[in-house]
């Protein structure tokens, strides 16, 4: 062993000791949804730091030998849960979250089983939660210029469009990279949401953000790049393009209903109550009028034009004002109780 390697190992050992001391007394767990990751899962488990108390792996009906490799592991922190059939990443995470609540953990970190998420970056997600600055932290792969420059143009445009739609649906207007699954969340927040209603499959991350928006939980972006090697993504671009928008619209309507009608009633509620019917009604009347008159070869009278355009203009202004208020109403105060370090286990 060279002097350089010896110094590097000593530095890593000192860093590990510092992190163990920093997180001592905080019950930290990792949930790993594992499906078809036989080539990576052992490496992922081995790379999880010592300050993590519990590793919950939900084997989601893999067709390869992922389950056999997990059963052969001897890490005392490992809790293996088996899904006989594949139910999707969202269902696997719901199972893992429920077990995390049983284990009385303070913080849960989601790691994918394909080794794209670097466990060494985990402290960056944990520190804001421990400091009481956020209820959930998530990675952002596109926070640096190098990552953006290396991204294909169409993917950049698609990600920007998806980001905007998720912001609208969830009310988390300060976030980017909503599909990033590298997250850390307080279990106090998990207890407040219906885990049985989480989306089963790839809409999980967006559905979770919508639920957090309804609860007015604070979600913080943390710049963390992904690692890509021999793994294969099974996320379909077509499924995302055509499947996400209707579900995001449904999530938006649920958030608006619970946030601005049930839990509270503000000027934003009034703007939406007046603006949406005016916008929809004016647009519907204008389209019907155009169809009716064009079929008869007639022109609209000025009064008919005003009857269609005035509700559209007024409704659009009220809806835009509601969006402005929603952006200003982005959650900034965490809903989780202050996290106090427990005595060491």
pLDDT in tens, 217-271: 999 999 887 665 544 544 555 566 667 888 999 999 999 999 999 988 989 999 9
Residue 335 falls within a domain, yes or no? Answer: no
What's the pLDDT at 170?
Answer: 93
Residue 49: pLDDT over 70: yes
Q: Based on the domain organization, do 241 and 322 belong to the same domain?
A: no
Q: Based on the domain organization, do 94 and 10 belong to the same domain?
A: yes
What's the pLDDT at 340?
Answer: 60
Final residue belonging to a domain, choices 255, 285, 306: 255
Name the band, by pLDDT with cuts 50, 70 and 90, for residue 345: very low
Residue 339 falls within a domain, yes or no? Answer: no
Residue 337 falls within a domain, yes or no? Answer: no
Name the band, by pLDDT with cuts 50, 70 and 90, for residue 16: confident
CA 59 to CA 37: how far, in whole Å?
A: 10
What's the pLDDT at 163?
Answer: 86
First to last CA, the chain: 36
Residue 343 falls within a domain, yes or no? Answer: no
Residue 238 falls within a domain, yes or no? Answer: yes
Q: Based on the domain organization, do 208 and 319 belong to the same domain?
A: no
Q: Based on the domain organization, do 155 and 94 belong to the same domain?
A: yes
pTM: 0.85
What's the pLDDT at 52?
Answer: 95
Q: Based on the domain organization, do 152 and 285 belong to the same domain?
A: no
Residue 126's nearest CA partner among 105, 104, 109 is: 109
CA 91 to CA 121: how far, in whole Å?
A: 25
Specify the higher pLDDT residue, 159 or 140.
140
- Mean pLDDT, residues 127-133: 92
Q: Based on the domain organization, do 160 and 229 belong to the same domain?
A: yes
What's the pLDDT at 231?
Answer: 45
Specify the higher pLDDT residue, 320 or 339.
320
Q: Based on the domain organization, do 289 and 202 belong to the same domain?
A: no
57: domain CATH number is: 3.90.550.10
Residue 51, classified by CB atoms within 10 Å of its CB into exposed (0-12), middle (13-18) or buried (19+), is: middle
What's the pLDDT at 203?
Answer: 86
- Mean pLDDT, residues 24-41: 93
Report the domain count for the chain.
2
Q: Based on the domain organization, do 95 and 244 belong to the same domain?
A: yes
Residue 67: pLDDT over 90: yes
Q: Based on the domain organization, do 44 and 175 belong to the same domain?
A: yes
What's the pLDDT at 304?
Answer: 87
What's the pLDDT at 249?
Answer: 92
Residue 215: pLDDT over 70: yes
Residue 22 falls within a domain, yes or no? Answer: yes
What's the pLDDT at 92?
Answer: 94
- Mean pLDDT, residues 198-220: 91
CA 233 to CA 237: how far, in whole Å?
A: 11
Q: Based on the domain organization, do 45 and 170 belong to the same domain?
A: yes
What's the pLDDT at 300?
Answer: 81
Q: Based on the domain organization, do 248 and 279 belong to the same domain?
A: no
Residue 217 falls within a domain, yes or no? Answer: yes
Final residue belonging to a domain, choices 221, 255, 289: 255
Name the band, by pLDDT with cuts 50, 70 and 90, for residue 6: very low
Final residue belonging to a domain, choices 200, 221, 255: 255
Q: Average pLDDT over the chain, rounded to whole? A: 86
Residue 250 falls within a domain, yes or no? Answer: yes
What's the pLDDT at 194?
Answer: 84
Give me the domain span that covers residue 315. Answer: 265-328
- Mean pLDDT, residues 55-79: 93
CA 303 to CA 270: how far, in whole Å?
A: 28
In the chain, the percentage of residues whose pLDDT exceeds 70 is 87
Q: Based on the domain organization, do 243 and 321 belong to the same domain?
A: no
What's the pLDDT at 7?
Answer: 42
Residue 21: pLDDT over 90: no
- Mean pLDDT, residues 307-318: 94
What's the pLDDT at 19?
Answer: 85
């Amino acid at each position: 062993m060279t002097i350089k390697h010896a110094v590097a190992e000593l530095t890593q050992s000192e860093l590990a000791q510092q992190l163990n001391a920093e997180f001592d007394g905080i019950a930290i767990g990792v949930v790993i949804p594992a499906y078809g990751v036989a080539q990576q899962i052992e490496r992922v488990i081995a790379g999880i730091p010592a300050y993590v108390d519990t590793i919950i792996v939900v084997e989601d009906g893999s067709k390869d030998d992922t389950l056999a490799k997990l059963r052969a592991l001897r890490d005392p922190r490992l809790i293996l849960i088996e899904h006989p059939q594949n139910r999707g990443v969202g269902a696997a995470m719901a199972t893992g979250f429920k077990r995390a609540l049983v284990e009385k953990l303070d913080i849960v970190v989601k790691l994918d089983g394909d080794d794209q998420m670097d466990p060494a970056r985990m402290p960056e997600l944990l520190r804001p939660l421990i400091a009481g600055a956020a209820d959930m932290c998530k990675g952002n792969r596109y926070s640096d210029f190098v990552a953006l420059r290396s991204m294909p143009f169409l993917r950049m445009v698609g990600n920007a469009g998806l980001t905007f739609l998720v912001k609208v649906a969830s009310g988390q207007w300060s976030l980017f990279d909503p599909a990033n699954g590298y997250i850390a969340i307080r279990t106090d927040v998990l207890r407040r949401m219906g885990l049985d209603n989480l989306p089963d499959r790839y809409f999980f991350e967006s559905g979770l953000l919508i639920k957090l928006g309804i609860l007015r939980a604070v979600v913080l972006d943390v710049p963390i790049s992904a690692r890509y090697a021999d793994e294969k993504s099974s996320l379909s671009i077509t499924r995302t393009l055509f499947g996400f928008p209707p579900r995001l619209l449904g999530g938006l309507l649920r958030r608006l209903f619970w946030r601005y009608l049930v839990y509270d009633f503000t000027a934003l509620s009034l703007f939406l109550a007046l603006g949406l019917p005016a916008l929809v009604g004016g647009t519907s009347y204008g389209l019907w009028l155009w169809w009716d008159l064009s079929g008869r070869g007639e022109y609209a009278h000025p009064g008919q034009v005003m009857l269609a355009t005035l509700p559209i203009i007024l409704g659009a202004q009220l809806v835009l004002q509601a969006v402005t208020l929603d952006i200003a109403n982005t959650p900034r105060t965490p809903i989780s109780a202050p996290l106090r370090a427990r005595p060491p286990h």
